Homo-oligomer: A and B are copies of this chain.
């Protein structure tokens, strides 16, 4: 079991990564000061696949553990989903001393974390992410929230868990797109912070795609350490934390322009990275050979859904709605080399728009 620490003063917390986390969950939570039975929040499917092993471990330490099962999918990460979760918590008699366990993918960790942030002015929760994307990204950093009609994650809070428990043996049941989606986020971590991680992904790619636990544990651990260090240095995304958004500016816009239906989040980020690499070389920020190397790695993970039919105007409208463009300038993250990212606050919006048109055309 690897243990990393997200250092945030008296709100610091451990991130456990391994193949035996489920079995040890009760003990790990007890070590974090959970004494009464926590409340498990999960999805029907996750509970069916992985619930028993976790529940047994929890009940060994705590006795009977109440479970709240939620419908899978983004539609639960909404005002009405939140209200339902509150209601369930009240019915279970949850109070200020309760601790929630968010057991599932990003929808569950975001929703449960936000419920914990606001229930009785904030109670404790732990993240027990079951997807690669959640293990390396959404469960770490305290960003929690829900979607509203106006957009994704627009209502939320910064509320850190007391611990993150990532068992990589759960990743075995991910489908190919979910797995690839997580690998793209790990590639992003390497791209902005560690060329060595990129090299490791490159070497181990087949083992990763085969869901070999050893290879998965290595990259999950590595990505967690990178993300934890970046978040510790800039908890509320004043500036430095923005490097985590490499590939996300255009990625988010692609997701929004296609109604969140064509791409998984990771796939959109993969396209966003490809675009940022291409624009970065065009702007002479990154050597073309290096860009090409990373491009090749991204392409090798799997085949990305096509960009065909996406209008430049729609992507552009999403960027505008996102308020990312101010005074004709847009803030974007570029690589200066593999393993090093820089925030550029003043990319010319007109140039970006013309680039987008060319990129969409050449990539579809």
Question: Which residues of A come within 8 Å of B, CB atoms?
Answer: 79, 83, 86, 90, 95-96, 117-122, 143, 145, 148, 150, 153-158, 236, 323
Contacts and interface: CB of A to CB of B under 8 A. Distances in A.
Given A86-B148, A150-B90, A121 B158 contact: yes
B157 A118 contact: yes
Contact of A155 (B86, B150, B154, B156): B86
Given A155-B86, A323-B95, A118 B118 contact: yes
A90 B148 CA distance: 10
20 contacts: A79-B79, A79-B83, A86-B148, A90-B148, A90-B150, A90-B154, A95-B323, A117-B157, A118-B155, A118-B157, A119-B155, A120-B155, A120-B156, A121-B143, A121-B145, A121-B153, A121-B156, A121-B158, A122-B158, A122-B236
Looking at A83, A121, A158, A323, the one whose CB has the most chain B CB atoms below 10 A away is: A121
B156 A118 contact: yes
A119 B150 CA distance: 12
Looking at A86, A143, A145, A158, the one whose CB has the most chain B CB atoms below 10 A away is: A86
A158 B121 CA distance: 6
A96 B238 CA distance: 11
Contacts of A143: 121
